[in-house]
Homo-oligomer: A and B are copies of this chain.
C-alpha cells in the first residue's frame, strides 16, 4: 500500500480500486492484470519451462523481468509501475520469444506482438465515447511502381456520407519502423482522437490516410544501412506516395486536392519520411509534422544512417537547403510541427536541438513535448491530439 500514500486524493479517485484486466486482453482469457499503481502482473502457464521472462516497450520499465514459477506451473512477475498508454511486450521462454496467448497482437517489430493498454487517469481524449464516429475503411490500390497491390487505412469524418457536396482536406499519417498501416488505428486510436476533437469542435473535419510505409517489392521490407541506401528506400516510397497514393485518394474520396488542404505527419521512421517527402514536395503539402522522428539533416554518403541521428541541423544547408530562406519557407509552409516525449532521450536531443536551431534562424516551428512518455504510442496519441486542431486553419 506504500505507493497509495504518496498519491493525492484526486489521483486516487481516478484509479481502479483493484487489479483489472487491460482492454488488450482477449475476451475470456486469463492475461495480465494492472494494479492501481500501474504495476503490471504478467502470467504464463508453462510447467516444463526452465526460464521465462517478460520484456517489452520502454514504458514497461527496464526489463527483461525474470518470472517465477508457482506450484501450478504458472510463471508470474509484477513489473514496476508502467508509464500510461500502449506497450508492446513478449515472453522469452527458454530463450524463445513468444506472444502472450492471452493478449491481442499488433504489428510491431515486424511481428505480431502482444500489447498491453495501461489507462491514463483522466485522459479520455482517445477513448471510444458517445460522439459521432467517422468511418475507418480499407483502401486497396494497385501500385505499378512496385508491381503489387497495396493497402491503406482511411478515416472519413462523421458526416462524410451525408454532406455529399462537401470536400475535405487530407492528413497523410505514417506509422513507425516495424509497424504497418494498421498502427495508427489499432495502437494509436487515431479515429477516436479525431472523433473526439471533431465532436468538441476543435478540429476541422478531415480525411486521414494511413498508408503502409514501405515501397515493398518481392524482396519484402527493405533494410537499408547507409544514408544513401536510406535515401534510395525513402525515394521509392516517395514515388509511390506522390504518384500513386495521393492520386488514388484524390480520385476515390471527396478531397480538396491542393497543397493548402494537404498535411503529412508521421512518427519515428514516419517522421523521417515526412521530413523527406513533404520537404521535397512543398507544392503538394503545406502542413508538415514530425512526431519523434530522428533528425537526418543530410541523407547522402556511406555512413550508417543511424549514426546521423545526432547530427546538428544547419538551417542554411540541412534538408537540402529547404530552410535556407526562413521568410520564404514561412510564407509557403503553414505549419512545421515537431513533437517528442521527454522519456525518449535519443529523439529528445535531436528534435529539441533541431527545433531550436530552426527557430533561431527564423523558421516558424511549433514544438510540442509529451511529459514522461517514451518512444511509444502514448507520445504519438498526445501528439495527434495537439496537432489535429492546428491543421487546415
Number of interface residues of A (CB under 8 A): 42
Residue in contact with A94 in the complex, picked from B48, B99, B103, B164, CB distance below 8 Å: B48
A95 and B47 form a contact (CB under 8 A): yes
Does more than half of chain A's interface fall in helix, strand or loop, or is it mixed? loop
Which of A60-68, A105-113, A365-373 binds B?
A: A105-113
A26 and B112 form a contact (CB under 8 A): yes
Asked if A128 is at the interface (CB within 8 A of a chain B CB), the reply is yes
A105 to B136, CA, bound (A): 21
Which of A137-145, A200-208, A283-291 binds B?
A: A137-145
A138 and B135 form a contact (CB under 8 A): yes
A101 and B112 form a contact (CB under 8 A): yes
Q: Which residues of B contact A353 (CB under 8 A)?
A: none
**Which residue of chain B is the closest to A45 with respect to CB atoms?**
B96
B138 and A29 form a contact (CB under 8 A): no
Evaluate whether A137 and B137 lie within 8 angstroms (CB atoms) in the complex, with A27-B220, A29-B110 already known: yes
Asked if A161 is at the interface (CB within 8 A of a chain B CB), the reply is yes
Contacts of A121-149 to chain B: CB distance below 8 A: 128, 130, 133, 135-138, 140, 142, 149
Residue in contact with A135 in the complex, picked from B107, B110, B135, CB distance below 8 Å: B135
A47 to B94, CA, bound (A): 9
Q: Which residues of B contact A328 (CB under 8 A)?
A: none
Produce 1/0 per residue, A73-101, CB < 8 A to B. 00000000000000000000111111101
Asked if A7 is at the interface (CB within 8 A of a chain B CB), the reply is no
Contacts of A210-238 to chain B: CB distance below 8 A: 214, 216, 220-221, 223
Q: Which residues of B contact A49 (CB under 8 A)?
A: 94, 96
Q: Which residues of B contact A14 (CB under 8 A)?
A: none
Asked if A70 is at the interface (CB within 8 A of a chain B CB), the reply is no
Q: Which residues of B contact A93 (CB under 8 A)?
A: 93, 96, 98
A27 and B135 form a contact (CB under 8 A): no
Q: Which residues of B contact A28 (CB under 8 A)?
A: 110, 220-221, 223
Contacts of A307-335 to chain B: CB distance below 8 A: none
Residue in contact with A99 in the complex, picked from B45, B98, B138, CB distance below 8 Å: B98
Evaluate whether A104 and B112 lie within 8 angstroms (CB atoms) in the complex, with A135-B135, A136-B137, A216-B27 already known: yes
Q: Which residues of B contact A96 (CB under 8 A)?
A: 45-46, 48-49, 93, 98
Produce 1/0 per residue, A12-43, CB < 8 A to B. 00000000000000111100000000000000
B95 and A101 form a contact (CB under 8 A): no
Q: Which residues of B contact A98 (CB under 8 A)?
A: 93, 96, 98-99, 101
A156 to B391, CA, bound (A): 30
A27 and B214 form a contact (CB under 8 A): yes
Q: Which residues of B contact A220 (CB under 8 A)?
A: 27-29
**Which residue of chain B is the closest to A214 with respect to CB atoms?**
B27
Q: Which residues of B contact A223 (CB under 8 A)?
A: 28
A221 and B27 form a contact (CB under 8 A): yes
Q: Could you list 9 examples of A-B contacts with CB < 8 Å? A: A27-B110, A48-B95, A49-B94, A96-B98, A101-B112, A103-B112, A112-B112, A128-B149, A164-B164
Q: A: which residues have CB within 8 A of B? A: 26-29, 45-49, 93-99, 101, 103-105, 107, 110-112, 128, 130, 133, 135-138, 140, 142, 149, 161, 164, 191, 214, 216, 220-221, 223
Given A28-B220, A93-B96, A94-B94, list of 17 further CB < 8 A pairs? A26-B110, A27-B110, A27-B214, A27-B216, A29-B111, A46-B96, A48-B94, A49-B94, A99-B101, A99-B112, A101-B111, A101-B112, A104-B112, A128-B140, A130-B142, A136-B138, A164-B164
